[in-house]
A = this chain, B = another copy of it.
Amino acid sequence: MSRFAEPQAAAFQALNSSVGFDQRLWPQDLRGSRAHAAMLGARGIISEEERDALLGGLASIEAELDAGEFAFLPDDEDVHMAVERRLTALVGPVGGKLHTARSRNDQVATDVALFSKETALQLRAQVTELMQTLVALAEQHLDVPLPGYTHLQRAQPIYLSHHLLAYVWMLERDRQRLTFAAQQADRLPLGAGALAGVNFDTDRQMVAGELGFAGVVPNSVDAVSNRDFVLDLLHAAAVCATHLSRLGSELVIWSSQEFGFVVLADRWTSGSSIMPQKKNPDAAELLRGKAPRVVAHGAALHGVLHALPLTYNKDMQEDKEHLFDAVDTLALCLAAAQGMLDGAAFNTERMAAAASDDLIAATDLADLLVKRGVPFRECHGIVAGLVRAAVESGRGLGELSDAELAAQSPHLDPSVRAVFERSSWLESKVSEGGTSLPRVREQLELVRALLA
């Protein structure tokens, strides 16, 4: 019997049904149902025989799902109803006892929390692998100079290892963010019922323990209204995707003919349907192009929750597709970043040549004057004049004559030419966190400790 006098309209089902995408949650749904049935039995809410019948039926369903033999039907509104339908078919009317003392509202929140926590930790593991790849590359390219850029203008030379380690620290923060997201998903919603708690003296701590949650959500209204943990995971995914978009952008720029700093492996590039010479960094471009998608999923879920009265509203069904696509996209991107870097060949000669542009020495020249007692701002002006003289005459700084140096400032005597020795530029960056080799080696120690 139903309180409804007519079946649902087909157009309504097309909009309303979630089984097309939430069937993905079946592992979480079954785990949750098993823990719930065990608890109902333990508390005497159902008998031990009933519990065993339910657990047996759930085990059969799991086997069917594992084997790809479970048939989701058009009338299954969602994964929960599909499982319950099959359960009742397998074990008879006792299947109807599984839903005692719970509601789909707390059930789906539990499924999504389990999924979010597990996925956050899986992504964290992928991030760790990418960090390891970067560390290995840094170790291989410890002392390869390239220009550091600001505003995409050559600024100061750095070691490639130092540049690559910058990404390691970005990813380390991504790990912290993913850990935070996993923690936010680590409270059991189940037991909240529809919204008010249930009419049975359940044992939520037992269920939490079986499912590996650190505790229970302490308020039943909040338990079914809350999707913050999804927002947190989407945020973590978005920041990581934005990081990867920066990496992708650099790989695209570096693999242009004009930069020529990196050659991607053939297996990580593709050709053109019309231009036989092309070798395109598609994966690097997609690292860029996928980030806005992940960010947009987070913004969309904020939009879904915006102004939504408590407690459960159907709008919240929208959480899942945003979540699934975001984490799948990030997982693909992390794998691509790692694969691309693994196969990348850095053209260290091109890099070193670019890094030896002696305009880059300008800051060092200014700093030399500082050490001779000239205020920094004044040094900056002196050297800026020198740069202008060099640029306007199409020469490097080192090509200016002694007279030209002296014309800018009496401080610029011939002894300053020592600063044009390239090897000094990088090693002079002795400050903590700087690019000099001892400092990079310190960083590597820190990073290895993090990853140990």
Contacts and interface: CB of A to CB of B under 8 A. Distances in A.
Given A2-B384, A152-B252, A339 B283 contact: no
Contacts of A232: 177, 235, 239
Nearest to A292: B303
Contacts of A442: 218
A121 B296 CA distance: 26
A163 interface: yes
Copies of this chain held together in the complex: 4
A57 interface: no
A32 interface: no
A108 B431 CA distance: 19
Interface in A317-359: 317-318, 321-322, 332-333, 335-336, 339, 343, 354, 357, 359
Contacts of A199: 363-364, 367, 428-430
Contact of A180 (B166, B180, B259, B318): B180
Interface string A1-37: 1111111110110111000000000000000000000
Nearest to A275: B363
20 contacts: A4-B267, A5-B388, A15-B336, A81-B273, A93-B375, A97-B370, A103-B275, A148-B196, A153-B255, A165-B219, A176-B184, A197-B432, A198-B367, A200-B367, A217-B433, A218-B433, A218-B446, A285-B313, A290-B318, A306-B306
A202 interface: yes
Given A14-B332, A310-B250, A336-B12, A158 B295 contact: no
Interface string A145-177: 000111111111110001101101110010011
Given A259-B258, A276-B366, A293-B318, A431 B302 contact: no
Q: Which has the most chain B C-beta neighbours within 10 Å: A94, A152, A343?
A: A152
Contacts of A77: 270
A154 B281 CA distance: 12
A192 interface: yes
B333 A431 contact: no
Given A166-B219, A222-B166, A307-B307, A7 B388 contact: no
Contact of A314 (B163, B285, B363): B285
A245 B164 CA distance: 27
B88 A197 contact: no
Contacts of A198: 367, 429, 431, 434
Contact of A193 (B12, B281, B429): B429
Nearest to A293: B300
Q: Which of A199, A223, A366, A377 has the most B CB atoms < 10 Å from its CB?
A: A199
Contacts of A9: 265, 267-268, 339, 343
A8 B283 CA distance: 11
Contacts of A221: 148, 158, 162-163, 165-166, 435
Nearest to A291: B306
Contacts of A357: 257
Contact of A313 (B151, B239, B384, B446): B151
A6 B270 CA distance: 11
A195 B155 contact: yes
A270 B8 contact: yes
Given A148-B311, A205-B432, A291-B302, 15 more contacts: A9-B343, A12-B339, A16-B283, A97-B376, A101-B431, A148-B310, A149-B309, A158-B221, A176-B180, A199-B429, A220-B433, A250-B309, A276-B382, A289-B316, A295-B299
A80 interface: yes
